[in-house]
Amino acid sequence: DAGVTQSPTHLIKTRGQQVTLRCSPISGHKSVSWYQQVLGQGPQFIFQYYEKEERGRGNFPDRFSARQFPNYSSELNVNALLLGDSALYLCASRSGTLVSYEQYFGPGTRLTVT
Amino acid sequence: AQSVAQPEDQVNVAEGNPLTVKCTYSVSGNPYLFWYVQYPNRGLQFLLKYITGDNLVKGSYGFEAEFNKSQTSFHLKKPSALVSDSALYFCAVRDSGGYNKLIFGAGTRLAVHP
């Protein structure tokens, strides 16, 4: 079975631009979360979506937004990019059942803002 | 505040020797704990979890972890290290706020020398 997939793999943007990152969860998984991993740090939670509804939001500015589609794939949008937004953006999926707690991560999208 | 601490930035061990990567946590309520591994330019791979039950949990690739409630620790262990185990290891705890947000430690780099 395919794991979590993310696109693109790498992205270079200029300050002030906007970016959209995409994620497809493991087949059958209904929950998707987004994390930001800055170099040298652990991942930081950005959003969680379940059944197309936002279920949690981390301590990130309103420039960050996301959505989940009927097929459970998800997009993360970041507007007005800053140099500090340069990071590895990770998508994670979870089945969403009450007994499943582990999240499975994709390979990430490396965003560089210049 | 809920948090995870990984007190060692790097752990060095000789191939064939046992390894331990330390993790302590602070969370309200019962802790749901996880270990993930990250190889260069890759996403996070799930190794194991503790939800309830036996304090010693077994995971992928021969890894295990010991949950100690009194010491609020969840150390990762392996009886015999391989060079291929060299990677970045993250401990995480599920946020008790009602959704499946993971709070990660800063990571520990494991270097296994031949």
Strands B19-21 and B44-50: unpaired
Has residue A1 got a pLDDT over 70?
A: no
pLDDT in tens, B37-75: 999 878 899 999 999 889 999 999 999 999 999 999 999
Q: B89 — contact with chain A (CB < 8 Å)? A: no
Q: What single-letter DSSP state applies at residue A18?
A: -
Query: Which chain B residue has its CA at the smallest distance from A101's CA?
Result: B100
pLDDT in tens, A47-79: 999 988 999 999 999 999 999 999 999 999 999
Query: Which chain A residue has its CA at the smallest distance from B89's CA?
Result: A42
Nearest by CB to B90, from A42, A58, A101: name it: A42
Average pLDDT over residues A75-98: 92
Q: A31 — contact with chain B (CB < 8 Å)? A: yes
Q: B87 — contact with chain A (CB < 8 Å)? A: no
Say how many C-beta atoms besides its own lie within 10 A of residue B53's C-beta.
8
Tell me how many degrees the CA angle B37-B105-B48 measures, rounded to the nearest 5. 40
> Cα separation of A23 and A67, whole Å?
11
